[in-house]
Chains A and B, each alone.
Chain A
């Protein structure tokens, strides 16, 4: 977008003051971008059902799943199947329920993270392409370039009428495709978006997610991530805290829980960052600090984990704490031997 503005400005520099012209075009581009971002934010008002293929091309692991998505005024339902694992998510005004093999969480007052066009445009240059026909519908390409490093982070194909993102591709800072989602079978209308069976009928009782204070959480993280709220939940029988941040487009969660972190399964040691582990997904890192285990789950690709996590406690317990713990365990073991 920036280069096209410069070219047009150079060609017409003899006719009008270039600054006035560039500002006018930039304003026009910006307003178009705001228009489409607002439509995407309102996509939940649409009534439809679709199949959606999602894939993440990760190192060391990739993942793919086919989603069954239903959206109407009653709420949104997503069922994801990948191998034997099935995850179901039901969101409406009164509750959100998540059920899978590993978790069953219920939140009585769900509050979605809103898409905020102004914040998106502060962080990204959003290039709106010309309309084209794809997937049997008219779509508009949107390209998101991060202003800080000029890295193209995302490309979307948005249906202008509904704001539905038909296709979304994520890239790393080298421009390599790292994730994508595409709608493969769209059906419009209330009959298509039949209400699914309630998730609560599962045998396992859900853990309740509650709002919590965020006194200890940093207000801002790098790259424009602003603290929105905190939650308290139970994960695998352990109490955990979640702090939710957003840059206006992506959500980023910081989880902390008791217990030490050694070599979490499915994670690899981050290069150039002692004690930081890289997990599945575009931005999943774990570390230990302040006597707790920490984990970040971010959707935005091309994030610098060291920069992003420096606001949180890092490092294991002190030498003396480890020594005390060791001898405590040793005496316990000796006591067990003679008892």
Chain B
């Protein structure tokens, strides 16, 4: 017989999903869920909310945006600046270019190189396919990931 006479409080169901209940409380809620469709629906609702939170986009500037921000906007201005420099003071040109090359090299080595993120979701889902064969009967423990 279930410990809960009617329905489990929403806070307790939420705590179950968050892993905040102690073993005896978990067991009582598990037992109640066997008998109570309404509480099962609430748990389902909470698990969907977890998924929604996990699906919130992260605000990370894409690489293209960074490259765009660093790129000179007007090539004609670059050309004008170049012609000014080459117009006189030649002795400074070589030194300036060498210094610039050195700075660019050091900066480039220190700055993160372009990267491809591994397709984490695809990999985790593919692993689940294999893993389902271990647990059999579709008893997949982690069919979802936190992303």
Contact = CB atoms under 8 A, between A and B. Distances in A.
Contacts of B47: 53, 55, 64-66, 81-82
A113 B133 CA distance: 5
Nearest to A75: B138
Q: Main secondary structure on chain B at its contact with chain A?
A: helix
B139 A235 contact: no
B10 interface: no
Contact of B119 (A114, A178, A253, A257): A257
Contacts, number: 317
Nearest to B55: A83
Contacts of A249: 134
Q: Identify the interface centre among B26, B48, B127, B128: most chain A CB within 10 Å of its CB.
A: B127
B33 A182 contact: yes
A275 to B, nearest CB: 13
Contact of A76 (B48, B123, B137): B137
Contact of A184 (B43, B53, B78): B43
Contacts of A250: 131, 134
Nearest to A185: B40
Interface string B111-147: 0111111111111111111111111111111111111
B119 A235 contact: yes
Contacts of B33: 53, 182, 184-185
A208 interface: no
Contacts of B49: 83
B105 A82 contact: no
A309 interface: no
Contacts of B139: 43, 52, 69, 164-165, 168, 181
A286 interface: yes
Interface of B: 16-19, 26-27, 30-31, 33-35, 37, 40, 43-44, 46-55, 58, 60, 72, 75, 78, 104-105, 108-109, 112-147
